[in-house]
Structure 1
Amino acid sequence: MMLSACNVSWSTGGISILENVSLDVVPGEFLGIVGPNGSGKTSLMSLLAGLRRPKSGRVLLDGRPIDGLGRREVARCIALVEQQAETSERISARQAVELGRTPHLGPLAPWSAEDDEIVGAAIRNVDMEPLAARQWHTLSGGERQRLHIARALAQQPEILLLDEPTNHLDIGHQIGLLHLVRQQQLTAVAALHDLNHAAMFCDRIALMSGGRIVALGSPSEVLSAERICSVFGVVVDVQHEGEGRCYIRYCAPGSPAAERPKLRRIS
């Protein structure tokens, strides 16, 4: 299933956030979206999920305008894990994950043993089985984030969208979560802050700056030292590895390596 943004623009309060962004998400790939704060990553994710309508341009799901589809139909194809998705309801951890089955339920499709199995597997995948009976409000931010991932997996989408999914997670669960996403038999798009995480797990990376995509390709193609310096304003060394992978070493401010002339920022 193909998800595409075609020359989309979006603004709020008279401020332009996205400008003529085009992007085709290849079925089966893990696509990372990276860029500084305010570059438009979260806004683009909202458009791709169909939560917002672009000011101009279109978002297409399998060739059809996503804003012309019903929310249930979209939810059967796309699951979104947002940065902040809280609830004031007094529900258990397992009940929060069970919400992922909602698009598949109806008068002719009541809750079944299969739904129980799907939810249980999703909870196990994010290592939350021991806490499944705990009340939502007693969980830490990291535990809640892992349950948001489980809820999305229980939705059984073809496309998984994740907006900074490693927020609130310790390093072990950050790596484990991205590895889990990588192993799923689905298309994934993740907005990420950590460039090394993107280089480690993503097939392609879209680099955003000033509401535009300024580079798109394999990690080693996109994450050059010059481009990182231009977009993020930091000096790095990039070690290129096989299969389009790379590793980024940041130079501490004030160190001899960081005294290299900085390039003009891309805007």
Structure 2
Amino acid sequence: MKLSATDLSWSIGGNTLLQSISFEVANGEFFGIVGPNGSGKTTLMSLLSGIRKPQVGSVTLDGQPLSKIGRRDVARNIALVEQQAETGERLTARQAVELGRTPHLGAYSPWTQEDTETVNRALRNVDMDHLAERYWHTLSGGERQRLHIARALAQEPKVLLLDEPTNHLDIGHQIDLLDLVGKLDLTVVTALHDLNHAALFCDRIALMQNGSLVALGKPSEVLTVDCIREVFGVEAEVEPIGQGSCNIRFVPRSRIHHARESRFRAAS
């Protein structure tokens, strides 16, 4: 499914958190949103999911405004994994993931073997099937995060929204998770802190700063040395690695100053 944002703006208490954000995510695209803390990524994700209604502009799913789609139908098509999601501690891991099937259940559609298989598959996909009967309060932060993602997968959405999905995960599970969602037959939109993750896995990225969209395109087009310096205030070396991806090496300012001083002494 295609997800589109048109002229989205959002303010609270006189502070503008988003201003005139527009982009379109194609069906099956892995789309990243990056930017410094406070740039508006989480606010934007909440608008794309339908949790918040835009004060200005609109979000559409295959051309239909989210505001015109019923909440159950939105939940059948869009799944959101929030950055600070919580779950009742008295649930087991399996029961937490089973909640993802709620949009598909009703008075005339009780739980079936197909629902069980969907939950089992979601648990396997995030490497949590061996902990399925453990209680929530006994799990680590990383294990809980993987279960939140499994619950989203159990919804069987067409669009998967992930707000900082690699928080609390070790490096192995970070890479495995992003690789997994990249292989799913889904439209994926994810807000990421790690620029190298965005550069490696995303088809395109949107770069945000102070609530505005400042760049949009393939990672190698957006994550340039000048752009990283201007938006994030850090120095970096960027190496294109083909198909629009790139590898980023961050350089401490002290090393840059030392290199400049060395060149100056050598020249004199």
Give TM class, smaller chain.
Answer: over 0.9
Alignment of 1:61-210 (within 5 A): 61-210=61-210
Where 1:173 maps in the other structure, the secondary structure is helix
Unpaired segments ≥5 residues, structure 1: 261-267
Structure 1 runs of 4+ aligned residues shifted over 4 Å read 257-260
Letter in structure 2 aligned against 1:230: E
What do residues 99-137 of structure 1 show as CA deviations (whole Å, max 9, x unaligned)?
Answer: 000000111110000000000000001000111000011
Q: What letter corresponds to residue 146 of structure 1 in structure 2?
A: R
3-state SS of the aligned residue for 1:254? helix
Query: Does the CA-based 8 Å contact 1:252-1:258 persist in structure 2?
Result: no
Bigger-Rg structure (1/2): 2
Aligned length: 260
- TM-score for the superposition, normalised by structure 2: 0.95
- Listed one character per residue, the Cα deviations across residues 10-50 of structure 1 (whole Å, up to 9, x for unaligned) are 01111100000001111100000000000000000000000
Report what 1:212 is aligned to.
Answer: 212
SS at match of 1:165: coil
Provide the identity percentage: 65
- How far apart are 1:258 and its partner, in Å? 8.2
Q: SS state of the match for residue 6, structure 1?
A: strand
User: Is the CA contact (8 Å cut-off) linking 1:251 and 1:257 kept in structure 2?
Assistant: no
Matching residue's letter, 1:120? N
Q: Is the 8 A contact 1:235 1:257 kept in 2?
A: no
Give the aligned partner of residue 39 of structure 1: 39
Deviates more, 1:8-17 or 1:80-89: 80-89
8 Å contact 1:4–1:22 — kept in the other structure? yes
Q: In 2, Cα distance between the equivalents of 1:88 and 1:99?
A: 11
Tell me the CA shift for residue 88 of structure 1.
Answer: 3.1
Deviates further, 209-218 or 82-91 = 82-91
> How many Å apart are 1:138 and its aligned residue?
1.1
Looking at structure 2, the residues matched to 96 and 12 of structure 1 have their Cα atoms a distance apart, in angstroms, of: 33
Following the alignment from structure 2 to structure 1, what is the Cα–Cα distance between the partners of residues 65 and 15?
Answer: 25
Structure 2 CA distance, aligned partners of 1:51 and 1:195?
26
The CA distance in 2 between the partners of 1:259 and 1:44, in whole Å, is 40
Residue 237 of structure 1 aligns to which amino acid in structure 2?
Answer: E
Q: Give the superposition deviation at 1:256.
A: 2.3
